[in-house]
């Protein structure tokens, strides 16, 4: 008997019984919290290899449950206290406030941007609590209900009063005088509350505030359940929401009209029975050494090493692999390469539309002279991801030397189009830039800690950050990415990887340390400083003089408190710009051991500016003057020799400029004030 004939019943049964859409998505629990669509239970404490997990809810609604039963939104500092599915709302609280730490002194939480809110909004059912602080030595203005809420642990006086209904888009009319002000949402108390001197507003913070989502944006799950179906999030569907019916079919809203249940059940039973009879025959064939034809059928020869890698990738992914398209199909999707979006060293990008109506960006790669490592990297790494801040890969094409990648289309292009424009802050606004910075950090945290396989991107820069219709940032271009096991954060790399100006020193020369997730943190820090807008001003400041190392220029002017004025920062957003600058300077410490992790970076965003330490001053010239200086890195004690210093100097374009800190090799990443 031809082994190929034996394979088809087994394949048919597998496809019918093991498709992700058939997996159960029963409501899960985290302590007393019930988690169901559009929320879903994910995170490191769950078996994420299960193909059903990501289809049980929308990526933005991922809930992590800690071993002690504490639920958080996508593993962030935002705790989920309760969910009201009827009213499409849920109550959240900041972890540090809920834990009862120093929350009462933390008056400058920027709720809208620190949450990277999309697709959530702060409910107008919340009450606004208003704060005045940093009054520059003057008394606050006369306001009804204003009390001195300062406690001994607060470094500066804080005044508070209760406003009306919270509205993020319409700030309350606050007569701040010479004070800085902020206003935060809290749950409307069940009984009237009058603030008094002291800390009695702290319990309001601990009870959290209400976030809402638009039900029509994520499907009518109640109607689907009422019709006997189960709600699903389908990443390759134009509508994203689908209703899984009892006959195994996915429908748009409800299951009315299902007619294939009996026929499908009979088919499943027959194919299962056929597979049961044929499995012993297959076993005998393989046992007697006659399985070569079957193995050949399953593992067809391909024309190149990269094609074999892709074929192996498809087998490892099974039914959740990215869709593979023929080259003729891709050209048709792009209307025969009609709408060109851009071109670079990697290839050309065209706009296209899939049959289901979704817009895509099709990246046609130039003919590769190697084994297609970057192409395989991109498909393998991004194909493993599912996160709101990571661009989605819809499919790929591999036909000999013809290679293409189909991504979700980002209508607002890349971040560099905005931060390098003449008036970038007028286009996006500082709060929007702040939210974009946090979104990118969340995407990196997911790559570094939340994937089944840890991913180091190695090319974080504004050109590789894409913005969707709501300016939600998404990390793209994984051609230089490297995968490592989840318990590891360091790996060996051959050759420099990255872009001049953003590449970490240890990636260029091993003496500075080992390439790791901290390498992405360095690139992120450089990008953060670019977003503040300092490089353009730095260039003008050093015109007709020796070239300056960009972070060094930022550090000098930040310390002198005049750099932000050069960046056209107004007093209203000075706190945001200063915090972004300070975090960026921490991230670009030359030695990896001195940089924060990306998780620590997110914690820095959640802290107030007063809580953050100034990073140590760096002095690159010391490396040039003392080439034999021993510096302890994260993994080994290595010598920074003249060759290393010259290599780094060439890449960073530094001439007699400050860069790496003092002679003390024991400096640790202590970014928070004690």
Length of the chain counted residue by residue: 674
Query: Whole-angstrom Cα distance, residue 331 to residue 322?
Result: 18
Cis peptide before 118 (omega within 30 of 0): no
- The residues facing 325 across adjacent strands are 397
* Cβ neighbours, 10 Å, residue 519: 28
363 among the known binding-site residues? Answer: yes
506 to each of 107, 161, 490, 643, how far by Cα in Å? Answer: 38, 50, 11, 13
Helix, strand, coil content of the chain in percent (nearest 5): 35, 20, 45
Tell me if 361 sits within 8 A of 435, measured CB to CB.
Answer: no
Strands (E), 384-457: 393-399, 402-408, 454-456
Q: State how far the Cα of 154 lies from the Cα of 206, in Å rounded to an integer.
A: 18
DSSP string, 501-565: TTS-HHHH-GGG---BHHHHHHHHHHHHHHHHTHHHHHHHHTTTSPPPPHHHHHHHHHHTT-HHH
User: Which regions of 308-416 does DSSP assign to beta strands (E)?
Assistant: 323-325, 339-343, 347-353, 359-365, 393-399, 402-408
Q: Are the C-beta atoms of 341 and 329 separated by less than 8 Å?
A: no
- Going from the C-alpha of 155 to that of each of 105, 420, 673, the distances in angstroms are 8, 37, 11
Active site residues: 459
What residues contact residue 618 under an 8 Å CB cut-off, 6+ apart? 551, 552, 555, 589, 590, 658, 659, 660, 661
Which segments are annotated as binding site for ATP? 363
Which segments are annotated as binding site? 363
């Amino acid at each position: 008997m031809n082994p190929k004939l034996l394979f088809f019943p087994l394949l048919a049964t597998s496809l019918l019984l093991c498709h992700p859409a058939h997996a159960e998505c029963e409501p899960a629990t985290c302590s007393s919290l019930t988690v169901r669509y559009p929320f879903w239970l994910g995170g490191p404490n769950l078996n994420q290899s299960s193909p059903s997990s990501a289809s049980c809810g929308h990526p933005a609604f991922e809930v992590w449950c800690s071993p002690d039963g504490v639920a958080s939104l996508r593993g962030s500092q935002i705790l989920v206290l309760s969910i009201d599915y009827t009213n499409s709302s849920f109550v959240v609280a900041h972890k540090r406030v809920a834990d009862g730490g120093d929350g009462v002194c933390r008056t400058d939480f920027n709720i809208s941007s620190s949450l990277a809110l999309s697709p959530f909004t702060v409910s107008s059912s919340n009450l606004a609590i208003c704060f005045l602080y940093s009054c520059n030595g003057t008394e606050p203005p006369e306001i009804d209900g204003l009390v001195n809420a300062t406690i001994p642990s607060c470094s500066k006086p804080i005044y508070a009063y209760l406003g009306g209904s919270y509205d993020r888009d319409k700030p309350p009319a606050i007569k701040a005088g010479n004070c800085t002000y902020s206003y935060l949402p809290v749950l409307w108390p069940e009984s009237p509350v009058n603030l008094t001197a002291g800390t009695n507003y702290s319990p309001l913070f601990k009870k959290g505030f209400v976030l809402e989502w638009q039900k029509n944006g994520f499907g009518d799950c109640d109607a689907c359940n009422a019709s006997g179906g189960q709600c699903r999030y389908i990443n390759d569907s134009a509508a994203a929401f689908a209703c899984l019916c009892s006959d195994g079919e996915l429908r748009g809203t409800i299951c009315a009209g299902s007619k294939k249940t009996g026929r499908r059940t009979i088919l499943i039973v027959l194919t299962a029975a056929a597979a049961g009879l044929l499995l012993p025959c297959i076993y005998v064939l393989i046992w007697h050494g006659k399985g070569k034809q079957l193995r050949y059928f399953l593992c067809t020869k391909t024309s190149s090493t990269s094609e074999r890698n892709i074929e192996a990738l498809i087998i490892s992914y099974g039914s959740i692999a990215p869709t593979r398209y023929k080259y003729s199909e891709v050209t048709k999707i792009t209307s025969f390469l009609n709408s060109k979006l851009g071109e670079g060293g990697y290839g050309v990008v065209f706009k296209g539309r899939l049959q289901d109506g979704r817009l895509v960006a099709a990246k046609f790669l130039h003919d590769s002279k190697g084994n297609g490592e970057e192409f395989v990297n991109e498909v393998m790494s991004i194909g493993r991801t599912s996160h709101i801040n990571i661009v989605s890969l819809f499919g790929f094409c591999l036909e000999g030397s013809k290679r293409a990648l189909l991504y979700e289309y980002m209508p607002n292009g890349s971040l560099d189009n905005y931060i390098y424009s003449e008036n970038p802050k007028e286009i996006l606004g500082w709060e929007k830039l702040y939210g974009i910075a946090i979104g990118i950090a969340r995407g990196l945290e997911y790559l570094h800690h939340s994937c089944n396989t840890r991913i180091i991107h190695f090319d974080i820069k504004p050109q590789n950050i894409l913005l969707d219709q709501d300016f939600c940032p998404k990390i793209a271009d994984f051609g230089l990415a490297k995968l490592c096991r989840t318990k590891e954060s360091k790996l060996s790399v051959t050759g420099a990887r990255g872009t001049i100006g953003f590449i970490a020193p240890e990636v260029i020369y091993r003496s500075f340390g080992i390439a790791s997730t901290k390498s992405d943190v360095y690139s992120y820090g450089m990008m953060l400083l670019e977003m503040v807008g300092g490089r353009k001003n730095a260039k003008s400041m050093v015109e007709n003089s020796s070239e300056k190392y960009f972070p060094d220029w930022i550090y000098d002017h930040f310390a002198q408190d005049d750099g932000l004025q050069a960046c056209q920062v107004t007093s209203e957003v000075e706190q945001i710009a200063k915090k972004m600058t300070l975090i960026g300077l921490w991230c670009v410490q030359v030695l990896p051991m001195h940089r924060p992790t990306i998780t620590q970076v997110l914690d820095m965003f959640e802290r107030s500016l007063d809580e953050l330490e100034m990073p140590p001053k760096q002095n690159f010239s010391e490396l040039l003057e003392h080439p034999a200086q021993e510096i302890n890195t994260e993994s080994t004690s290595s010598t920074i020799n003249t060759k290393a210093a010259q290599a780094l100097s060439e890449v960073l374009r530094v001439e007699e400029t400050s860069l790496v800190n003092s002679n003390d090799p024991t400096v640790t990443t202590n970014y928070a004030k004690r």
